[in-house]
Chains A and B, each alone.
Chain A
């Protein structure tokens, strides 16, 4: 308890308990209880919740860079999408001869493009361990190269934000191209199996929800530990007074770089958990709007708290599901309004609001 600092923070404990409940009880209710039982959760609910949990993990990783390091990354969705693509490539390889064209070597879209052999960057994705490695390595390396270039030359503030947006925009354009070998604008889909289990089956869906929940809780605890280490303290100091930290002799760009790379890897893991649950990954995941939505989850929940990001991600995405179901037109209006209201009126998000209420009650 001391290690994670949970003892001081009731909200964090509550969030963790809620997460554990979702992670373990809902799959049980889905699988073990009969369909007519009032406690039964449908497969739809299970995969929806699983999706929310991966979004929460994504929000958590952004909170690390934005809430703790002050880097407003507007291209965080790119790392999520890259992790997703890595997992998608593994799932594509599992289809084998069951594709429409039944080609033993090539995925359908390559047969369609008249390609003769597998591009080199698809090699190795037959193995699950290799795909998992890539899920963290590809986003990590991209974040490293990008961050090394950006932080070394002290690109900060809005400059950095726009350049990260340009990064994800460039990737969006690139992945739309058929020649890239990632399925063009259709992306990768029609997955069949994950580790030999049917990906459509309820048991696998429930397992994926559980995996997402466990990963999220682990990541949450790791992040909490991280921000309380010396590294975390320095990073927080950079957020508040960058030049002072530099004058104290810390290599600011290195701290920024590591936190950025770590967050990118977490985002990649989130993407890898997301893809099997929704069954598709396509270039629209790279769109700048997606990355901005992540920012608003964190802003709405309350940044710099970690659990705020989780609350925000679930809340915003739940409203998105409800609103787009009811009236698709309303969604963008309300999302726009949320951007304005949260930044102008709720700078500390919902968590900040609740805290203020609590303090008022105490005093």
Chain B
């Protein structure tokens, strides 16, 4: 007891000390903020000359005043009528949501009549814009600098150019430097000296920049009278050549993008098909409820997210094992409860598992409502990876591609290195012989089915990140994933991988010409014709395993 109370005192003391130190820290901050407060006081005064002075003062403080300046420029800076406090307000239709301009703490909503906006003259606005640009140009974050350069490049102003010129001297980041360079080259294209212009075009044709493409396109266009906008033939021809070069690169990037989309679609197909490939390869059984097991995985993600709404990333990661377990258990239940009685009758198995899929679908519909549920994507998975102006790849598809490969490698290792994997392969190759060698085939069947179903659940987690989660989620994938299995060759995981990616890429390449639906139909027709030539798929099983 005594020890406890001493501990309690210690804790109290520590807490008090912490409070104290915080208070003194606050004091210190006030002293360093003195110039800022002075400047803001000036800003609050009525006359424009005082405001101009305030802006200069704020500019002198540097980066930390950028937010206030930007708010001032956007007309979001106000003083409260009650105590003349300076606030930043964001319009919320009825009034403003305000926050303290200095500390940034939110102060709630307020009516329009309770604040005065700090107005600017046009002259002040111009100089303010310049100051903001200057501050942004020297910001620590290269992305802010890059954005500033791009924004300034559109302004035709010598002062801006001078700023950029100054920045180019000290800039260390290669991307920003390149962007500044492009701005200057674009200006040089307007030069009166023909040689300078040609040199600028020659330099610009190496850049992946949409502004460059637009500028060059203008040069080779005709006006309404049929005359070229660019009068100089030589310059025009060089511009044409440069455009051709840039366009061929554009083509390349769009091909890369299509391949990427194809790969990500393929990754989804592989994830969906690989579990099916295992159960079909080992047991010769088509599990029509496979899609619904994916749906269960997707709903698991949804439920996990409802359970911990504040930890999106963690919930998605935790959903992977959870979805695996749930789908695997349901899968084993299906195998033990139904499929076990139907061995040797693949068509009946197909019908029975279809019945299961109907029941699962309707259960989900009854529990979660027939409406689609949307699953939030964690921050590190949303947005896209902007490689250059011509090419950007979305992160969620990128992660799914990586995830698919990870699952594939893991599965390959399980089949190759574990006892279960060995037994699974033995049963797949020759069931009777395996049984004769003492392998408990019934147990292996159940575990294989569990493994395949679990992977379906994991695939569902991945799917929940790219589409809405609904009771019909699985239906769309059963035909596609079976096509992948057939195309790749039964009993060969590599075949499934290659087939999934090939079909995904083929689909995405056909889409621009034929439309999504027709592309799908064409792929189906192709597979039907392909089976004519190679009934056992791309990678047929060889040797004694290939019975019947």
Contacts and interface: CB of A to CB of B under 8 A. Distances in A.
Interface of A: 72, 146, 149-150, 152-155, 157-159, 161-163, 165-167, 169-170, 173-174, 176-177, 288, 292, 295-296, 299, 329, 332-333, 335-340, 342-344, 347
Contacts of A337: 355, 359
Contacts of A329: 362, 365-366
A243 B516 CA distance: 40
Interface string B346-373: 1111111011111101110110000000
Interface residues of B, number: 42
Nearest to A150: B528
Interface core residue of B346, B359, B365 (most chain A CB under 10 Å):
B359
B528 A335 contact: no
A343 B525 CA distance: 31
Given A157-B347, A158-B346, A161-B347, A336 B517 contact: no
A295 B529 CA distance: 26
Given A299-B351, A332-B358, A337-B359, A170 B529 contact: no
Contact of B355 (A150, A154, A165, A338): A338
Contact of A339 (B355, B482, B518): B355
Given A153-B535, A332-B361, A344 B341 contact: yes
B535 A343 contact: no
Nearest to B362: A332
Nearest to A339: B355
Instruction: Provide the main secondary structure of the chain B interface.
Output: helix
Given A149-B532, A153-B531, A292-B351, 19 more contacts: A72-B347, A150-B528, A153-B535, A158-B280, A161-B286, A162-B483, A163-B531, A166-B479, A166-B528, A170-B521, A296-B351, A329-B366, A332-B362, A333-B363, A337-B359, A339-B354, A339-B358, A340-B356, A344-B342
Nearest to B359: A336
Given A161-B347, A162-B482, A343-B348, A336 B528 contact: no
Interface core residue of B355, B365, B524 (most chain A CB under 10 Å):
B355
A159 B535 CA distance: 10
A336 B347 contact: no
Interface in B521-542: 521, 524-525, 527-529, 531-533, 535
A162 B352 contact: no
B520 interface: yes
A72 B346 CA distance: 10
Contacts of A157: 346-347
Contacts of B365: 329, 332
Contacts of B483: 162, 166
B338 interface: yes
A144 to B, nearest CB: 14
A162 B486 contact: yes
A147 to B, nearest CB: 11
B528 A149 contact: yes
Contacts of B348: 343, 347
A342 B533 CA distance: 37
Contacts of A342: 351
B531 A155 contact: yes
Contacts of B486: 159, 162
Contact of A292 (B338, B354, B535): B354
Contacts of A292: 351, 354
A339 B347 CA distance: 12
Contacts of B525: 170
Contacts of B362: 329, 332-333, 336
A170 B526 CA distance: 12
Contact of B338 (A146, A149, A153, A340): A340
